[in-house]
Amino acid sequence: MIVVLAKDATIHDKEVIHIYLKDRGFTVRDQHFGDDEIIGAFGKGVIDKKELVLLPGVERVASTSKPYELASRETKSEDTIVSLGPVKIGGSRISVIAGPCAVESREQIMETAAVIRESGAVMLRGGAFKPRTSPYAFQGLGMKGLEYLKEAGVTYGMPIVSEVVSPELADAMNDLTDMFQIGARNMQNFELLKKVGSLGKAVLLKRGPSATIEEWLLSAEYLLASGTKDVVLCERGIRTFETYTRNTLDISAIPVVKKLSHLPVIVDPSHAVGIRAKVSPAALAAIAAGADGLTVEVHPHPDAALSDGPQSLYPDQFEKLMRDVEALSPVVGKELLRTPRPSVSLTEHSGETASSENDSITDAAGYSGDSGAFAEQAIIRSFGEDMPRLSLPSFPSIFDAVLDGTVRFGMIPVENSLTGSIHENYDLFIRYPDIVIVGEIKLRIVHCLIADEKADINSIKIIRSHPQGFAQCKEFLDAHPDWQLESVNSTSSAVVSIVRDGAVKVAAIASEAAAKIHGLAVLKTGIETNPLNYTRFVIISRLNESGKAALPPNLSSEKMNKASFIFSVHDEPGALFECLKVLSERGINLSKLESRPIPGQPWRYMFYADVGISNDDTVFEESLEALKKKCDDFRLLGIYHAAM
């Protein structure tokens, strides 16, 4: 049972509640759980909850139908996000932990950290104390190995996670590790769980090879009840009659646990299958099933590894897996987490990190629409849930807010995979020469029919949405010709209008997130004409006096491999061909070319172009200089990291 204290509860109030619970047979423990201060009551005591809730300082009493109260979603409905510095596990991001089974030497762990960081891992794993089946197998380097692991993590800007195997070692390891791992063999070592939990540090809890889901969650309960609030569950395969793979990866456990518990769930495909060639398919299956991340064994020389070599990926295999995860993430409504690397160097084109910008600019991102808009979801995917967000009434107002420093970044949709370019926003770049593109994200758009809880699909008379929403759901709307369509500024605004008007015969086309935020019902999900419905958003920022723009922190160290620019050509035969020839001759890949009328100059056109940048930046710079000589007018809109 959980007693949630009121914000104004006094020390005396808490003492009275303690006495009340202890007198009735409970063991009590004070804790902080998210923003709430709580008193956990454990044991077989008996109370009248109606009497308890009337005590001064009690906001509510939470009890669940599950024996794991703190871990239960009945106690906490929203997802827990575990934070380790810039790394967030849970929510809208896919976080990848990687490293060797064991730290074998300083050189080995430094080499591994370098290659996994380059491929996109955000945390470093490695065993310093290794519980092995055979007493003659390599048991790890002990504290020296942990020191090497910590040094590699600091050098490459990654928090570290390492397994703790006994309560006696927990205190010694506490200052050197960012996250404790409880291995599968120790999942029900309750004294270890209580000790590690009492240290208050984040814990990665692996499922035991023969543990049920309830037993796994009860082990998490031990950690939470002992003091930590940050527990990440790790599915790593269970023991079955099948012997082809090392274990049997229980993919079904992922959605089951995410429904039962608010704790993030990641998957260890390496220990699940034990066969190098099967690790990547199992990892992708885990992401498709809803996992919040992966922990993968990677070794620079697996054939020479002192432990688990056959299941460790080569660096090039891990790099390919990360590309595949990045491509798959938007399909399941998530984004691969990337974090800033240490000692980021600034380049002329990429600008500077957000923290080095003028302090007068608000660290926030602006978007058009109300809370729940797809653009707000794009901000969360790009910056994380903690990023301050400002709702603005229109696309021009986003440009204005970025220009005057109201926000540091803006999120602008520019293209949809079904309906094409959003010309209004392309044209805004002509009007705002001090605004540039500093990043992009491709978001899968799943449209829902949303209405008041009292409504049903047969009672609907009016549909509200942004014109893009109507266009993307054309086939669904064509099947209901009697519906009247009303355009609004954004899909989320359509949802807000239903709440504001109390309308029961009006439905909106918008995101499921918007429905949840504003308390409406989803009548039908996935009404877009084609499920391969993606919108490309660009992140915009303002050039400062030195001609640089702030970069999103998670992109500050990424390779800038894409550029956008606008240009016009002389009014003569072959003028456009000559410009494109400049790019072709230098091997520059043109991925998009579109013409738009130049305001105030009838029958003259400006061309928008997106191009890829090769590894040789010099070639690209030379191409731009040559192109400018062929153009009547030219402006670079931005050089940035392309989304998958």
**Other beta carbons less than 10 A from residue 594's beta carbon:** 16
User: 50 and 89 share a domain?
Assistant: no
Contact 513, 401 (CB under 8 A): no
CA distance linking residue 526 with residue 449, whole number of Å: 8
Coil, strand, or helix at residue 513?
Answer: helix
Q: How confident is the model at residue 36 (pLDDT cuts 50, 70, 90)?
A: confident
Is 7 part of any domain? yes
Is 9 part of any domain? yes
What percentage of residues in the chain have a pLDDT greater than 70? Answer: 94
What is the domain range of residue 514?
448-532
Per-residue model confidence as pLDDT tens digits over 629-644: 989 889 999 999 887 5
**Other beta carbons less than 10 A from residue 525's beta carbon:** 13
DSSP category for residue 71: T
Is 74 part of any domain? no
User: 241 and 319 share a domain?
Assistant: yes
Per-residue model confidence as pLDDT tens digits over 514-567: 999 999 999 999 999 998 889 999 999 998 877 788 888 766 556 788 999 999
Question: Strand 82-84 vs strand 58-62: parallel, antiparallel, or unpaired?
Answer: unpaired
Half-sphere exposure of 445 toward its Cβ, with a 13 Å CA cutoff?
31
CA distance linking residue 600 with residue 26, whole number of Å: 78
Residue 379: partners with Cβ closer than 8 Å, 6 or more residues away = 365, 367, 387, 389, 409, 411
Per-residue model confidence as pLDDT tens digits over 58-91: 988 877 667 888 899 887 888 999 999 889 999 8
User: 238 and 282 share a domain?
Assistant: yes
Residue 263: partners with Cβ closer than 8 Å, 6 or more residues away = 71, 80, 90, 220, 231, 232, 233, 257
Per-residue model confidence as pLDDT tens digits over 549-563: 888 876 655 678 899
Q: Write out the two tokens for 367.
A: 């978007």
Q: Write out the two tokens for 385.
A: 């849930």
Handedness of CA 383, 384, 388, 392 (dihedral sign): positive
> Would you say residue 346 has pLDDT above 80?
no
Alpha helices in 236-392 (DSSP H): 253-260, 269-273, 276-288, 315-328, 374-383
CA distance linking residue 558 with residue 353, whole number of Å: 12
Average pLDDT of span 471-480 = 95
CA distance linking residue 412 with residue 621, whole number of Å: 27
pLDDT for 343: 46
Contact 168, 142 (CB under 8 A): no
User: 50 and 191 share a domain?
Assistant: no
Is 578 part of any domain? yes
Per-residue model confidence as pLDDT tens digits over 169-226: 999 999 999 999 999 999 999 999 999 999 999 999 999 999 999 999 999 999 998 8
Compute the chain's Rg from CA coordinates: 27
Per-residue model confidence as pLDDT tens digits over 304-342: 999 999 999 999 999 999 999 988 988 888 888 887 766
> Would you say residue 448 has pLDDT above 80?
yes
> Would you say residue 385 has pLDDT above 70?
yes
Residue 36: partners with Cβ closer than 8 Å, 6 or more residues away = 4, 5
User: 296 and 150 share a domain?
Assistant: yes
Average pLDDT of span 254-283 = 97
> Would you say residue 347 has pLDDT above 50?
no
Q: What is the CATH number of the domain that holds 287?
A: 3.20.20.70
Nearest Cα neighbor of 607 from 634, 586, 642, 581 is 634
Nearest Cα neighbor of 466 from 438, 432, 425, 431 is 425
Burial (CB count <10 Å: 0-12, 13-18, 19+), residue 431: exposed
Q: In terms of pLDDT, which residue wins out, 106 or 617?
A: 106
Task: Give the chain's length.
Answer: 644
Per-residue model confidence as pLDDT tens digits over 107-139: 999 999 999 998 999 999 999 998 767 777 787
User: 168 and 125 share a domain?
Assistant: yes
User: 513 and 566 share a domain?
Assistant: no
CA distance linking residue 89 with residue 75, whole number of Å: 20
**Helix, strand, coil fractions of the chain, as percent rounded to 5:** 35, 25, 40
Is 431 part of any domain? no
Q: How confident is the model at residue 497 (pLDDT cuts 50, 70, 90)?
A: very high
Is 443 part of any domain? no
Average pLDDT of span 498-510 = 92
pLDDT for 548: 83
Q: How confident is the model at residue 582 (pLDDT cuts 50, 70, 90)?
A: very high
**Other beta carbons less than 10 A from residue 348's beta carbon:** 11
> Would you say residue 459 has pLDDT above 50?
yes
Alpha helices in 389-489 (DSSP H): 395-404, 423-431, 467-472, 474-478
pLDDT for 434: 87
Per-residue model confidence as pLDDT tens digits over 621-631: 888 999 999 89
CA distance linking residue 595 with residue 475, whole number of Å: 29
Task: List the single range of 8-17, 69-78, 404-413, 467-476 with lowest mean pLDDT.
Answer: 69-78
Q: For residue 91, what are the CA distances in angstroms to 203, 233, 258?
A: 17, 14, 11
pTM of the model: 0.70
Contact 59, 5 (CB under 8 A): yes
**Residues 194, 199, 205, 208, Cα dihedral to 10°:** -30
Burial (CB count <10 Å: 0-12, 13-18, 19+), residue 112: buried
CA distance linking residue 433 with residue 430, whole number of Å: 6
CA distance linking residue 117 with residue 330, whole number of Å: 21
Q: Write out the two tokens for 379.
A: 């901000």
pLDDT for 77: 81
Amino acid present at 305: A
Give the residue from 62, 91, 108 where a domain finishes.
62
Coil, strand, or helix at residue 631?
Answer: strand
Burial (CB count <10 Å: 0-12, 13-18, 19+), residue 242: exposed
Handedness of CA 435, 441, 444, 448 (dihedral sign): negative
Contact 188, 171 (CB under 8 A): no
Task: List the single range of 52-56, 61-65, 405-409 with lowest mean pLDDT.
Answer: 61-65
Is 441 part of any domain? no
Question: Strand 36-42 vs strand 27-33: parallel, antiparallel, or unpaired?
Answer: antiparallel
User: 150 and 204 share a domain?
Assistant: yes
pLDDT for 64: 67
Q: What is the CATH number of the domain that holds 39?
A: 3.30.70.1140
pLDDT for 33: 65
Q: How confident is the model at residue 21 (pLDDT cuts 50, 70, 90)?
A: confident
User: 52 and 92 share a domain?
Assistant: no
Q: What is the CATH number of the domain that holds 609?
A: 3.30.70.260
CA distance linking residue 22 with residue 372, whole number of Å: 45
> Would you say residue 354 has pLDDT above 50?
no
CA distance linking residue 309 with residue 373, whole number of Å: 46
pLDDT for 356: 42
pLDDT for 358: 44
Phi-psi region of 34 (alpha: psi -120 to 50; beta: other; left: phi over 0): left
User: 624 and 495 share a domain?
Assistant: no
Per-residue model confidence as pLDDT tens digits over 146-171: 999 999 999 999 999 999 999 999 99
Q: Write out the two tokens for 105.
A: 């030497």
User: 154 and 236 share a domain?
Assistant: yes
Q: What is the CATH number of the domain that holds 477?
A: 3.40.190.10
pLDDT for 49: 81
**Other beta carbons less than 10 A from residue 561's beta carbon:** 15
Q: How confident is the model at residue 424 (pLDDT cuts 50, 70, 90)?
A: confident
Angle at 357 between CA 95 and CA 422, to 5 degrees: 65
> Would you say residue 348 has pLDDT above 50?
no
> Would you say residue 568 has pLDDT above 60?
yes
Q: How many domains does the chain have?
A: 4
Is 92 part of any domain? yes
The residue written with tokens 């894409």 in the block is 562
Task: List the single range of 261-270, 271-280, 634-643 with lowest mean pLDDT.
Answer: 634-643
Task: List the single range of 108-112, 141-145, 429-433 with lowest mean pLDDT.
Answer: 429-433
DSSP category for residue 351: B
Q: In terms of pLDDT, which residue wins out, 136 or 478?
A: 478
User: 105 and 237 share a domain?
Assistant: yes
pLDDT for 355: 42
